[in-house]
Amino acid sequence: MTNKHGRQFLQIPGPSNVPDRVLRAIDQPTIDHRGPDFQALAFKLLERVKKVFKCSGPVIIYPSSGSGAWEAALVNTLSPGDTVLMVETGEFALLWRNIAVKMGLKVDFIPGDWRQGVDAQVIQEKLAADKNQSIKAVAVVQNETSTGVVSDIAAVRQAIDAENHPALFLVDVISSLGSNDFRHDEWGVDVTIGGSQKGLMLPPGLGFNAISEKAIKASSDATLSRSYWDWNAVIESNRNGFYPYTPATNLLFGLDEALNMLFEEGLENVFSRHARLAEATRCAVGAWGLENLALNSNEFSNSLTAVLLPEGHDADGLRQLILENFDMPLGTGLGKMKGKIFRIGHLGWFNELMLAGTLSGVEMGLALSDIPFNSGGVQAALNYLVEKTE
């Protein structure tokens, strides 16, 4: 577009749109991170954020991306040569695996087709065969951002418990926290890895580790090298309302306001809204005659939908056409899905009219392309939303 009017219609699955309330909260004078005002903010935030993770233990907040939070989870709990059981659910599971390998960990990587979530039965079989209990951690992604596939975390916990296996349980919720239900304590998760830029409605820049007592105990024996990521230093400083390094102060202002928004709506209502908008998106995809990359309906993500194009058609070409004509970025296919899919983000600060605009942009783009499709996807979504309006 040579002339742009209005806001760019950002509909990638993260970073997601940042609410004006959060932007205004971030836009405050920076305060002394060693002073009493910051101390009061930190005490409040560190307690309130537990409600989003549904945990009772500490939540470590890093000035980092989700990748930093991945690394923190590994270096605080494991030692060189330890074995980690991981599952190939998509590009981000693969990237997390790569970090583990670079750190000198052994990874037993269960292969996947990127269209299905974690098979808890396979996890259980792996643990049953681990007679020497050499597997020290099971690490999975709840919502795979690259594929729009969500995994059953409670079922994985049940698989671990069924074998009475002592492995730690690590879960990535970077694109599900604040948009899909997650229960750190109830599901027996030891380290939950989160990021600020998706369901929490913030810009990139905050990484999270919610940690169990078991994980804290493991950290005392872990010998992977750590300094910046060391939980112990952060926990010790947090006890007094401070950090061992400079925190992302203004992003913490934003987090405080984002938590206000989530709690005002109510987490269950947040999850219900995401489920409704996600199903409307799937109605549109089906009406277009296109295919959801996720194969199983019980694994459809409420954060995003990955749309698979017919063989021989370039998804990135469609994305470019939509961007150029309607100033709407959509998520690209990553890794082995590059050029095969485009991803529609419908998470965070998002409502029915925003979805209607998003789907309209996609349908107009399809009409301008040579991709075979049926019109009426937008109307199918609108019909569903009207039917579900209370």
**Residue 8 confidence (pLDDT):** 85
Q: Judge if 133 and 223 occupy the same domain.
A: yes
Which of 206, 232, 263 is a domain's end point? 263
CA distance 93 to 146: 9
Place of tokens 């409040």: 44
pLDDT band at 6 (very low <50, low <70, confident <90, very high): confident
CATH of the domain at 168: 3.40.640.10
Tell me the average pLDDT of the chain: 97
Report helix angle 352-368 to 315-326, nearest 10: 110
CATH number of the domain where residue 321 is located: 3.90.1150.10
Residues 88 and 161 in one domain: yes
- Asked whether residue 161 falls in the same domain as residue 215, the answer is yes
Domain end point (choices 230, 263, 296): 263
Are 259 and 280 members of one domain? no
172: Cα within 13 Å, side-chain hemisphere = 32
Model confidence, pTM: 0.96
Q: Over 60: is that where the pLDDT of 37 sits?
A: yes
In a 10 Å sphere around its CB, with 0-12 CB exposed, 13-18 middle and 19+ buried, how is residue 246 labelled? Answer: exposed
High-pLDDT (> 70) share of the chain, %: 99
User: Token pair 């009772």 is at which residue?
Assistant: 56
Residues 325 and 196 in one domain: no
Look at residue 351 in the predicted model and tell me its pLDDT.
Answer: 97
- Here the tokens at position 271 are 């999850």
247, 316: one domain: no
Is pLDDT at 3 greater than 80 in this prediction?
A: no
Task: Check pLDDT > 60 for residue 220.
Answer: yes
Q: What is the extent of the structural domain holding 289?
A: 266-388
C-alpha to C-alpha distance for 342 and 215, rounded to whole angstroms: 37
**What pLDDT, on a 0 to 100 scale, did the predictor assign at position 4?**
76
Residue 4 covered by a domain: no
Residue where a domain terminates, one of 263, 290, 320: 263
Joined tokens for residue 380? 């199918």
Structural domains counted in the chain: 2
DSSP string covering 9-46: --BSSSSPPPPHHHHHHHSS----TTSHHHHHHHHHHH
